[in-house]
Structure 1
Amino acid sequence: MRCELNREALLEALGVVTSALPGKTTYPVLQNIQLEVAGGRLSLSATDEDTAIRRELPLEGKSADGRVLVHGRKLLELVRESRGETVQLGDDGSLVQIESGRVKADFIRLDPDEFPKSPDFPEGAPLELPLALVFELFDACAFAVAKDGSRPAMAALNWEVSKTEMRMVATDGHRLAFASRKMKTPGRFKALISPKTLLLLPRGGDTVAVTADPARIGFKLPDTTIISRLIEGPYPDYERVLPKSH
């Protein structure tokens, strides 16, 4: 594998992709990201086994196809500290070489076959949803999500999209947040989703294509694909405590 690409673009992509890495894990390979060069593009993939993200970037100049694993957060710090306009990535079979400006470093090359296979994208017709609206509801509700994992459903956001409305609900058993907005879509879904997954989406984006089935939810953006396992319910009957005006 060998390629060269814009440093700022790589830094931004690494910031997003490494956000999907687990904080603690007994499976060390999950601390790594997969770098794959193919067809003149570099893809960066990360997963915590519940959520998987893949980001693609265009390359500059000639490249050699290949696939490697490198420690995600260490690579992020190295690229952040470098000052070159571009970053060169190379692989000699035992080491992954990184070069940018005056910064040069080698990473131990790990077997890319150890990286977990990405789950299949959910089947079904995608819904194009405005990201500004998604984050408006997220920001109104995320504070009420339960912080401990003893009740998995309450550690999720209850996200519902119908043909006329989008709503989100969060509760930790003591407080409840509810937000909804009228909108028109050709389909519907209900999903218990981790806040961490939604935070992988770009706040400055326009729309995102969302596809959900009973077990997974998938997001597609121009250069990014996210697939997340849904949290199992049941979710508390929040409508019972809402004022009738809702």
Structure 2
Amino acid sequence: MLGAGWHGLSTLLAPILRVNLRRRLAHGKETPASLPQRRGLASRPRPPGLLAWLHAASVGETVALMPVVQHLLDLDPTLHVLITTGTVTGNAILHDRLPAMTGQDRVMTQFAPLDVPMLGARFLDYWRPDVGALVESELWPNLIAACHARHVPLALLNGRMSDRSLASWRRAACLLARMLSTFAWVMARSAEDAARLQHGGATRIDLIADLKDAAPPCRMTRQR
């Protein structure tokens, strides 16, 4: 089992995390709609057939992900795509970009669940993705472990690992290695990131490229 210690700790901290969600709501970092989704509850029914799940943290990662989403939609006209984000701003830019996409009616969005075993299990058991992809440095031990347990193949897109991040994982090097080795396919953002990811435990890095080079410029209207 991946990350047994983190599994237990996050379960114990779940009540505190829920309180923190309310605090974030009060500060505009969550929305009323995001709270149940953070608990792994679905925003809409799961469509039949194949479902690809893609997760991006915030604005930059979401913008970088959009060409991948369009490619998947073009590749298979029967495929549905679920995109989760980790921030209100990421969710906003997602809804801003989707109307311009071909096949956007096959795209569903919601906020990612907290990295708590019960909540991640609820999310995955409902959506039952056939494949998943995390963007850049979104390494969530419990969610990755739950995907592994359900035999959901995972990809890491635009994989990023700084020297500082790698050093911060030093005390949990085994956990990092187990997470990174779980990915069936890794795309590193740069040769330097690829080297750090490999040092951390990634066993299959098949492409070195930056998705942000293919993404259109991000323009958001400043709110007053």
TM over 0.5: no
Larger radius of gyration: 1
More helix by share: 2
Q: TM-score, normalised by structure 1?
A: 0.21
More strand by share: 1
Q: TM-score, normalised by structure 2?
A: 0.23
